[in-house]
Structure 1
Amino acid sequence: MEEQKRGPGRPRKVAGQVARWVPPEGWSRLVAWVSPEEKLALKRVAVEAGVSVADLVRSLAGGLAAGVVAPEELIDQVRRGTTVMEKIPTLFERDGDFRVVDRPRAECAWVFAGEGAPTEKVDGTNVRLTVRSGRLVRVEKRRNPSAAQKKLGIVDGWYADTAEGAAEDRWILAAADGTDVTGWPDGEHPCEALGPRIQGNPLKLAEHLCLPFDREAPVYEGVPRSYQGLREYLAGLESRFAPGAPAEGIVFHHPDGRRAKIKRKDFPKSA
């Protein structure tokens, strides 16, 4: 079959001259090699933020230079850079722009079968608080197996102790200290640490605190379980933990421990 010739593209402003972006005076180029998985992760964050990957990297560097982002906030993340975090599966498959499409994920079939209880998804850091006689005696943070550990068959995460004075634990401990546990029963309580310096503070909280899943995670009634139904439901869902702020999403909890999630931002902006 004879190859079809491509038509002319957009004409250049100056014929014969390739368009180039000229950086401001004093700027230099930074080159980093990343894996395909890391590249996709960067692209996903950039898409959700509505910026290019280059702007995403520059905004991070700009935040460090301006003192908006503290270096110690990034140190632990850099040290854990090769760790593969165990993610709660999203209900639907994603397209090339990382938006969900109307195609349920096989591993989440139990949700569409009507199983599991829906609760509000909050974006923080997973921790565990141990309480004795109304007093906080231990603060732990979530750890998940690395890629190498997963190859050895280690698939479940665990909790590791935080350390007083450790920069990477500063805001987790602030959240724990800001939580009133006097009425909590003795035991270990899984929580989400939230606040101004944690995960961008999407709920716009004024103080750091820990939200216990086993005490303050009310179940939502009448949550739809279809693509369009969830899209419309989440578009107007208000957070129960921060009235006036939109809820980030929904997490379905199965009695056997399985979980599945869907976020408002997962859906494409236009129909």
Structure 2
Amino acid sequence: MSETRGRGRPRKDPEKPARWTPPEGWSRLVAWVSPEEKKALKHVAVEAEVSVADLVRSLAGGLAAGVIDVEELVRQVRKGRQVMEKIPTLFERDSSFRVVDRPRAECAWVFEGEGTPTEKLDGTNVRITVRSGLLVRVEKRRNPSKSQKLQGIVDGWYVDTDEQAVEDKWILAAARNTDVSGWPDGEHPCEALGPRIQGNPLALDDHLCVPFNLEVPAYRDVPRSYTGLRDFLAELESRYAPGHLAEGIVFHHPDGRRAKIKRKDFPRAA
């Protein structure tokens, strides 16, 4: 015996068509978002008791009316892009994934002498939120899966750590072992380091987080050619853990752009 389905929820006004007709002159804006981003938007929409569409329209309306500070919004967007976009490697790669002496066009500013070179730390990328000198949130980086990459999703995003998850244990230990009392309020991208993270190449005794925007050591007189960087990195000592080799260099441009090169990017010496 087949089950009879009940009628769906009736429209508020049966006389009106089910489809909504936008006002004259309106246009449709479409954007692809990750599942986590979609969930975040829905969470805010539920808190505000509106639909996601109304949430986006409210943002656009606030900008159009001058209620939202454009400069602050742009700053936050750029900050998010700096944190989450994959940092390009200085040189192109060959079939064995080693770099060759062919600079990437998007990194031309490095070879023109721009940007500050800093030590690239080999750990796990996290983001720490601080309020009034207290740790209030710890997030970890999630990279797109192979199937997501095939769909055009190339940049990673942050997700909350889980107190009960075994894989988050040492990330949380590093965050809690870090003194954030002097950090300004806000979200700070960091590298989580320590004995149980990424093999601990710097042989650290404790777990901790190093904020990219506050404490990462800078280098002077770094060469900016293929052979120069190859030879420089072969013997570059870590400023953060003297006596150990640094993983590589990250160049920071004043406008937020970054570019990186690691010792292991170069072909092994014959």
- What TM-score, normalized to structure 2? 0.63
The aligned counterpart of 2:110 is 111
| Pairs within 5 Å for 1:34-49 | none
1: distance between equivalents of 2:265 and 2:239?
20
1:202 matched residue in structure 2: 201
State the Cα deviation string for residues 65-106 of structure 1 (Å, max 9, x = none). xxxxxxxxxxxxxxxxxxxx9642221223343332212122
Q: Which residue of 2 aligns with 1:38?
A: none
CA-CA distance at 1:203 after TM superposition: 0.8
What residue in structure 1 maps to residue 176 of structure 2?
177
Give matches, 1:1-271, under 5 Å. Answer: 87-146=86-145, 156-270=155-269
Query: In structure 1, how many angstroms separate the alpha carbons of the residues matched to 2:182 and 2:168?
Result: 25
Matched AA of 1:244: G
Mapped partners of 1:158, 1:250: distance in 2: 22
Aligned to 1:215, the other structure's residue is in SS state coil
Distance 2:95 2:146 in 1: 24
* Corresponding residue of 2:60: none
Q: Is the 8 A contact 2:217 2:240 kept in 1?
A: no
Query: Identity percentage over the alignment?
Result: 80
Letter in 2 for 1:268: P
Q: How many residues align?
A: 187
State how far apart, in whole Å, the 2-side matches of 1:255 and 1:133 are: 27
Q: Quick one: distance in 2 between partners of 1:123 and 1:99?
A: 18
Structure 1 residues 130 and 234: alpha-carbon distance in aligned structure 2, compared to 1, 3 A threshold: same
Query: Is contact 2:86-2:155 (8 Å) kept?
Result: no
Q: State the one-letter code of the partner of 1:89.
A: P
User: Which AA in structure 1 matches 2:217?
Assistant: P
Q: Secondary structure at the match of 2:179?
A: coil
Tell me the distance in 2 between the aligned counterparts of 1:151 and 1:246: 35
The Cα shift of 1:230 comes to 0.7
Deviations 1:171-197 (A, max 9, x none): 110111111112222221110001111
Q: Is the 8 A contact 1:86 1:144 kept in 2?
A: no
- Do the aligned residues in 1 keep the contact of 2:109 with 2:115 (CA within 8 Å)? yes
Superposition CA RMSD, Å: 2.3
Distance 1:257-1:156 versus aligned 2 partners, 3 A rule = farther
- C-alpha displacement of 1:156: 4.5
- The structure having more radius of gyration, on CA atoms, is 2
In 1, Cα distance between the equivalents of 2:123 and 2:242?
A: 17
Distance 1:106 1:181 in 2: 38
TM-score by length of 1: 0.63
What whole-Å deviation, never above 9, does each CA across 1:211-261 have from its counterpart, x for those lacking one? Answer: 011110232221110011111211221101101111111011223333221
| Residue 151 (structure 1) shift | 6.6
Give the counterpart letter for 1:208 in structure 2. Answer: H
The alignment partner of 1:108 has SS state of helix
> 1:99 and 1:241 mapped to 2: Cα distance?
26
Paired residues of 2:86 and 2:156 also in contact (CA < 8 A): no
Equivalent-residue separation in structure 2 for 1:153 and 1:185 (angstroms):
35
